């Protein structure tokens, strides 16, 4: 089988599609040596509440436009305590919240870094473990990537001996297909449509929320709602 990799910036408590991408590949590369973008998924995500959708955001400081994701730091103390209280208020009555309560409480309250990238990694690894995703996750800095945006992706594929690069559909705006073809690397685009609905505590159903919503509502069955576990 051809080795597959995916490369993505770290997100805070990402949606289920992010974990589908991780589960679809042989190695997942966290690419945080790139510019931090404000009002993006790096430091925030969406919760499904009984009053509708609610953003949950890690307060970070952007010192300049060239600041990288892995240089970005939290600037307000006890943000983690506030977020944990929010999750308890929103999901305290969810069917499986009690099952994972101690695990997430420990994760939130024992955060000992101000670096956004490191915080995101902690949550991604923990959630992968809950979802039974075994894919190795590495940092792009381990690969010493060179070139422009597309060349770095190709360089990562070559250094990891991958013949297939897996990407989300938004990357179609900048991916140079011909360049990948010239380097004998196939591009596989993820289709995020067709997810089946699970039990949410209020309607209407929302797919694009943090994966924590799925975990707290479906427990051990959560990964059965990821497409990669059913393919």
- Convert the chain into a string of H (helix), E (strand) and C (coil): CCCEEEEECCCCCCEHHHHHHHHHCCEEEECCCCECCCCCCCCEEEEEECCEEEEEECCEECCCCCCEHHHCEECCCCHHHHHHHHHHHHHCCCCCHHHHHHHHHHHHHCCCCCEHHHHHHHHHHHHHHHCCCCCCEEEHHHCCCCCCHHHHHHHHHHHCCCCEEEECHHHHHCCCHHHHHHCCCEEEECCCCCCCCCCCCCCCCCCCCEHHHHHHHHHHHHHHHCHHHCC
Q: Mean pLDDT in each 10-residue stretch from start to end of the chain (231 residues)?
A: 94 98 98 95 97 97 94 95 98 98 98 97 98 98 96 98 96 94 97 96 96 98 96 69
- Give the model's pLDDT for residue 132: 98
- Give the model's pLDDT for residue 2: 87
- Give the model's pLDDT for residue 230: 87
Overall number of domains in the chain: 1
* Domain containing residue 132: 4-229
- Give the model's pLDDT for residue 189: 97
Question: What pTM does this model have?
Answer: 0.96
């Amino acid at each position: 089988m051809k080795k597959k990799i995916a490369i993505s910036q770290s997100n805070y408590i990402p949606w289920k599609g992010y974990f589908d991408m991780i589960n679809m590949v042989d190695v997942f590369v966290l690419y945080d040596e790139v510019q931090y973008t404000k009002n993006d998924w790096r430091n925030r995500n969406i919760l499904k509440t009984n009053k509708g959708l609610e953003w949950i955001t890690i307060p970070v400081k952007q010192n300049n436009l060239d600041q990288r994701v892995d240089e970005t730091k939290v600037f307000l103390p006890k943000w983690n305590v506030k977020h944990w209280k929010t999750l308890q208020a929103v999901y305290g009555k969810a069917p499986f919240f009690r099952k994972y309560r101690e695990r997430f409480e420990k994760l939130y309250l024992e955060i000992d870094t101000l670096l956004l990238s490191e915080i995101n990694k902690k949550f991604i690894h923990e959630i992968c473990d809950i979802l039974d995703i075994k894919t190795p996750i590495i940092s792009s800095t381990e690969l010493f990537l060179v070139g422009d945006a597309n060349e770095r992706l190709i360089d990562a594929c070559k250094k990891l001996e991958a013949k297939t690069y897996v990407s989300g559909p938004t990357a179609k705006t900048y991916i140079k297909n011909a360049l990948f073809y010239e380097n004998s690397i196939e591009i596989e685009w993820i289709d995020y449509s067709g997810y089946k609905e699970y039990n949410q505590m209020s309607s209407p159903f929302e797919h694009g929320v943090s994966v924590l919503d799925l975990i707290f509502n479906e427990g051990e069955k959560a990964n059965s709602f990821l497409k990669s576990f059913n393919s």
